[in-house]
Amino acid sequence: MNRDAPLVLGIETSCDETGIGIVRGRELLANVIASSMDEHARYGGVVPEVAARAHLEALRPALTEAVATAGITLDELDAVAVTSGPGLSGALMVGVGAAKALALSLNKPLYAVNHLVGHVGADVLGDEGPLEYPTIALLVSGGHTSLLLVRDLTSDVELLGETIDDAAGEAFDKVARILGLPYPGGPHIDRVAADGDPKAIRFPRGLTLPKDMEKHRYDFSFSGLKTAVARWVEVRRDAGEEIPIADVAASFREAVIDVLTSKAIAACKDYGVPRLLLGGGVVANARLREVAQQRATSAGVELRIPAFSLCTDNGAMIAALASELIMEGAEPSSLNFGADSTLPVTDIHVH
């Protein structure tokens, strides 16, 4: 196997994106993403069974397209990589099964890797230069809200905190629903919020009170915020008042972003880490990027945000992480591993 710049194909199926990515070392050759988001729209959230079935249907065409885009043949691969967790069990199983079949039939080594660490791995594919250590990573999507301390991408990742209830993207989706906006809610809240006043309503900032900060300094909670928005809207609807949707959206968005960025910067300060990396679909939010940049600059922290196509779930980040592992001499996984919906972040790759 070429350990200097291995040619790796990555498979990602942990949630509603079927991702096939191909990298050579730190060079991105293909990043094909097929999303089943539209199929979940009428349910207002990702339905695991629907997602799993969609992966089954999307995998093969995505694989064919990725190989064609990269201009390679499967025989040339040095390794196959797959997300084995965390994520939705049924969805993960589709990717794990496909990856095992592919590795076995091609007689190639297989690397089962951690989805969350994969989000961090996406950064090495950018043109901002090598990822420096240590770095704090804030991952925000419809499925996760996690704060990581990354001392080394391939060997030392620590979970500092995560959401104790809803993920940040999930909160956007639920509040959008309350306001009568379509799924996925993030982009719609964002659009509506553009005309609103973020200071119009002071919504609660979850887990930021001194008593919460003792135990949950780096944890997040968005369920109380969602309930507060629901109550605020309900009271006015019942009174027959018109709902100032733009102000509600802007004030809600500000509350989420305030908590996300203040906790991430606090982690940078506490651990003396002058770097912050963002990842996950919520990074599409321009206001999040803006506030993160302002706060990072005033704290003397360098902010890194991969290209958006590498922020949402994708196979390239999985291939990139496996490529880093291979370059570090990591052994491939045995074929005995299974999908692990709660794989801890410390298990960067499964042996």
Could you tell me which residues are annotated as the binding site?
115, 119, 139-143, 173, 186, 190, 285, 313
CB nearer to Zn ion: give 85 or 109: 85
Measured distance CA(187)–CA(173) in Å, rounded: 9
**Which listed residue (313, 326, 330, 350) binds Zn ion by CB under 5 A?**
313
Cis check: omega of the bond before 134, within 30 degrees of 0: yes
Residue 15 binds ligand KG4 (CB under 6 A)? yes
Residue 247 binds Zn ion (CB under 5 A)? no
Beta sheet of 110-114, edge-to-edge order: 27-35, 17-24, 7-12, 79-85, 110-114, 349-350
Spatial contact of 340 and 87, defined as CB atoms under 8 Å apart: no
Q: What is the DSSP letter of 220?
A: B
Candidate segments 22-30, 154-162, 164-172, 340-348, binder of ligand KG4 by CB under 6 A:
164-172
Candidate segments 5-13, 97-105, 110-118, 168-176, binder of ligand KG4 by CB under 6 A:
168-176
How many residues touch Zn ion under the rule CB under 5 A: the total is 2
Spatial contact of 148 and 159, defined as CB atoms under 8 Å apart: yes
Beta sheet of 302-304, edge-to-edge order: 156-162, 145-152, 135-140, 275-279, 302-304
Candidate segments 90-98, 99-107, 151-159, 182-190, binder of ligand KG4 by CB under 6 A:
182-190
Beta bridge mates, 30: 22
Q: Which does 142 bind (CB under 5 to 8 A by kind): Zn ion, ligand KG4, none?
A: ligand KG4
Smallest separation (angstroms) from ligand KG4 to the CB of 341: 14
Beta bridge mates, 138: 147, 278
Residue nearest Zn ion, CB atom distance: 313
Burial class of residue 202 (count of CB atoms within 10 Å of its CB; 0-12, 13-18, 19+): exposed
**Which listed residue (186, 306, 315, 332) binds ligand KG4 by CB under 6 A?**
186
Residue 312 binds ligand KG4 (CB under 6 A)? yes
Q: Nearest 5°: CA angle at 153, between 11 and 277?
A: 90
Residue 285 binds ligand KG4 (CB under 6 A)? yes
**Which listed residue (21, 121, 172, 196) binds ligand KG4 by CB under 6 A?**
172
Which CB contacts under 8 angstroms, 24+ apart, belong to 230-235? Answer: 230/178, 232/201, 232/203, 233/178, 233/179
User: Residue 158 — φ and ψ, nearest 5°?
Assistant: -120, 135
Smallest separation (angstroms) from ligand KG4 to the CB of 207: 19
**Which listed residue (63, 255, 282, 301) binds ligand KG4 by CB under 6 A?**
282
Residue 206 binds ligand KG4 (CB under 6 A)? no
Residue 187 binds ligand KG4 (CB under 6 A)? yes
**Which listed residue (78, 166, 247, 313) binds ligand KG4 by CB under 6 A?**
313
Smallest separation (angstroms) from ligand KG4 to the CB of 93: 17
Measured distance CA(111)–CA(173) in Å, rounded: 33
Residue by residue, DSSP assigns 67-93 as HHHHT--GGG-SEEEEEEESS-HHHHH
Q: Which does 184 bind (CB under 5 to 8 A by kind): ligand KG4, Zn ion, none?
A: ligand KG4
The contact set with ligand KG4 (CB under 6 A) reads 15-16, 141-143, 169-170, 172-173, 184-187, 190, 280-282, 284-285, 312-313
The contact set with Zn ion (CB under 5 A) reads 141, 313
